[in-house]
Amino acid sequence: MTIDDYADWAATVAKVTRPPTSERLSYLGLGLAGESGEVAEHIKKLLRDGTLDQAAMAEELGDVVYYWVCLCVALGRKPSEVLTASRAKISARLTQ
Ligand SMILES: [Mg+2]
């Protein structure tokens, strides 16, 4: 499975439309923020308790990707293209 295959599936499940409604875009953005917060919570617990539930954190990272790919699709972008552009941007920054 490629990330674009996953995005096609996720966008269908999440009922992503093009163009997205403001409500759907908000829902997806809040979902991304919420799941990112769940990842941050695991890191906070690592600092507080000294333990990290790696399996649970990896599950939350999957939830982050779900909302992230849906937002890519909502904007009419293939996740693989967004990743390629991100890699180019970061690589250019590193060579400065
Ligand atoms: Mg979650």
Q: Whose CA is closest to 10, among 66, 59, 79?
A: 66
Which domain range does residue 10 map to?
Answer: 3-94
- Which domain CATH number covers 45? 1.10.287.1080
In this predicted structure, what is the pLDDT of residue 57?
Answer: 98
pTM over 0.85: yes
Distance 35 CA to ligand 1 centre (A): 5
- 41: confidence class by pLDDT, cuts 50, 70, 90: very high
Distance 62 CA to ligand 1 centre (A): 8
Does pLDDT of 13 surpass 90?
Answer: yes
Total domains present in the chain: 1
The enclosing H or E element of 63 equals: helix 54-74
Distance 91 CA to ligand 1 centre (A): 30
Q: Whose CA is closest to 6, among 73, 89, 86, 81?
A: 73
- 11: confidence class by pLDDT, cuts 50, 70, 90: very high
In this predicted structure, what is the pLDDT of residue 58?
Answer: 98
Cβ neighbours of residue 32 closer than 8 Å, sequence gap 6 or more: 64, 67, 68, 71
Q: How far apart (Å, rounded) are the C-alpha atoms in residues 13 and 67?
A: 11
